[in-house]
Amino acid sequence: MTAHAQTASATILPLAEPLKAVRDTRPLRLITCGSVDDGKSTLIGRLLWDTKAVKEDQAATLARDSGQQNDLGLPDFALLLDGLQAEREQGITIDVAYRYFSTDRRSFIVADTPGHEQYTRNMATGASTADLAVLLADARAGLLEQTRRHATIAALMGIRQFVLAVNKIDLVNYDKAVFERISHEFREFALSLGVRQITAIPMSALKGENVVYPAEAAMPWYDGPTLIETLELATVRSGQAGGFRLPVQRVSRPGEGFRGYQGTVAGGSIKPGDSVAILPSGTVANVKQIVTFDLVRNAAVAGDAITLVLDRQVDVSRGDMIVSIDSQPMTGHHFDAQLVSLQPGGIEPGKRYWLKSGSRRQRVTVEPLSQLELATGKWLPHASTLSMNAIGKVRLSFEELAVFDPYEQNRSTGAFILIDPDTLNTVAGGMITAKRGDVGGIHRSQGGEGQRVVLSLPADLAEQIMASELFTNRRDEAEIRRMTSKQAAEIFSNAASDI
């Protein structure tokens, strides 16, 4: 149905209640990760089994299939997972699978991602929507590099709640000292990643101890929560905080007098009468009408697919972003980001890539700044390429103005993938880290030719200053960061005398 037809047949709803009054029924999204054979499949199978998410016919098949396989006389819970057939054939789990289960208190979606290093990409995909990460460690092996890598990616993808499942605790005779050593080591590591909410649980996924049911008899020394209790109390991230964001996917001009901008709301909310800015141009307008596939609405929130009608003729095209006027994202040519390199060729400094974020696709070059050393959690200065699976801090430089939120504030408008224009492979997944206002005033590096200048000013003003700065001082790089007019005015009055 065209947008024109939508308006013609639309019902105007006299909605008395604002949309935000609708009950929040969002499930908790979690990701499980760890090294190969730590017991992820068994743990997820156990969660499904003990929360009764397993249907009777599946249960009968499970009992039959696993009858002779388990010396503990328990079903092999890993058999519950769909990917198992492929896993059995290839010896690996091949993709991200999402599974659903619930308790009386909450429902859950778990992303099951493979443990093999070459599948780091799938792990990053699963983590990008998760509220919480369950990291498994085999009690016998302790923390392995792959568990650290997964914890790092989970933290980079903005997950701020970790559960460490010290699994197979039955195989170390329920030894409290083993549990404490591994959880202490993990806590230190997670804190270095900026994650503060950490729950460590000694567990036997196979026997179902501390998963859904507590295990006082086997582990009298543990009085913390079970996994399911922790998950029930965890916080669901709000995707709706922050300002309104509509990445424009399509401009709809079905007929005379109707022009609508279509896309899925990527943050915040909007209602008719609200003032918006169209970025990167900065043009302003007011919202006249919000249309969905069958209704004219009095509001829209993150996740809604809408057509937005503005009160005046403006120039908007695919890839632009319509945002609330009083809470705008960052606009500029240079951004700091963190990324995970996903292809054998790695990331080449200076090469032009396509950056895709939502409906936008822009040319970008990437300058690696540092690389994370997983064993120590330290950022090492890095000048050459970022090889496959490396996690790096980079500087992105765009030919045209780019618009982003910091990933911490908006996981949709702050995330991107890099595409190699030669092979069309996705070579990296990343998130924008530069925050609005994190640089104040003018910063100059010391030295002569090739100095860098950072101007924190409203874009229009900064652009003019930058032009003259580059011209008069022969600097080869400058950077603009947006800030409020008040901050800018203050800085400008200081900076003007400085230049």
Q: Residue positions in the annotated binding site?
A: 34-41, 112-116, 167-170
Cα 260 to Cα 249: distance, rounded to the nearest angstrom: 11
Nearer residue to ligand GTP within complex by CB, 39 or 414: 39
Nearer residue to ligand GTP within complex by CB, 211 or 279: 211
Three-state DSSP state, 301: strand
Which residue type occupies 187? R
Nearer residue to ligand GTP within complex by CB, 38 or 131: 38
**Residue 235 Cβ, how far from ligand GTP at the closest point, in Å?**
26
Q: Which of 178, 227, 220 is nearest to 201 (CA)?
A: 227
- The length of the chain in residues reads 499
**Residue 83 Cβ, how far from ligand GTP at the closest point, in Å?**
8
CB 124 within 8 A of CB 416: no
**Residue 142 Cβ, how far from ligand GTP at the closest point, in Å?**
15
Nearer residue to ligand GTP within complex by CB, 37 or 399: 37
CB 274 within 8 A of CB 235: no
Q: Which residues are annotated as a binding site for GTP?
A: 34-41, 112-116, 167-170
Nearer residue to ligand GTP within complex by CB, 205 or 454: 205
**Residue 198 Cβ, how far from ligand GTP at the closest point, in Å?**
20
Nearer residue to ligand GTP within complex by CB, 87 or 348: 87
Nearer residue to ligand GTP within complex by CB, 93 or 161: 93
**Residue 342 Cβ, how far from ligand GTP at the closest point, in Å?**
19
Q: How far is CA 421 from the centre of its chain?
A: 24
SS3 content of the chain, % helix, strand, coil (to 5): 25, 35, 40
**Residue 74 Cβ, how far from ligand GTP at the closest point, in Å?**
9
**Cα three-residue angle 313-315-318, rounded to 5 degrees:** 125
Nearer residue to ligand GTP within complex by CB, 42 or 362: 42
Determine if the peptide bond prior to 368 is cis (ω within 30°): no
Q: Which two tokens stand for residue 61?
A: 């098949």
**Residue 230 Cβ, how far from ligand GTP at the closest point, in Å?**
17
Nearer residue to ligand GTP within complex by CB, 94 or 417: 94
Nearer residue to ligand GTP within complex by CB, 170 or 420: 170
Contacts 24+ apart (CB under 8 A), 215-220: 218/170, 218/174, 219/169, 219/174, 219/176
H or E element that contains 396: strand 391-404
CB 203 within 8 A of CB 231: no
Q: Which two tokens stand for residue 444?
A: 């100059």
* Footprint of ligand GTP (CB under 6 A): 36-42, 78, 93, 114-115, 167-168, 170-171, 204-206
Cα 94 to Cα 86: distance, rounded to the nearest angstrom: 7
Residue 468: Cβ within 10 Å count:
10
CB 263 within 8 A of CB 359: yes
**Residue 390 Cβ, how far from ligand GTP at the closest point, in Å?**
22
**Residue 121 Cβ, how far from ligand GTP at the closest point, in Å?**
15
**Residue 148 Cβ, how far from ligand GTP at the closest point, in Å?**
16
Which residue type occupies 473? N
Q: Calculate the dihedral angle through the C-alpha atoms of 100, 105, 106, 107, rounding to the nearest 10 degrees.
A: 20
Residues 6+ apart with CB under 8 A from 118: none
Please tell me what DSSP assigns to residue 312.
Answer: S
Three-state DSSP state, 65: helix
Q: Which of 279, 294, 422 is nearest to 359 (CA)?
A: 279
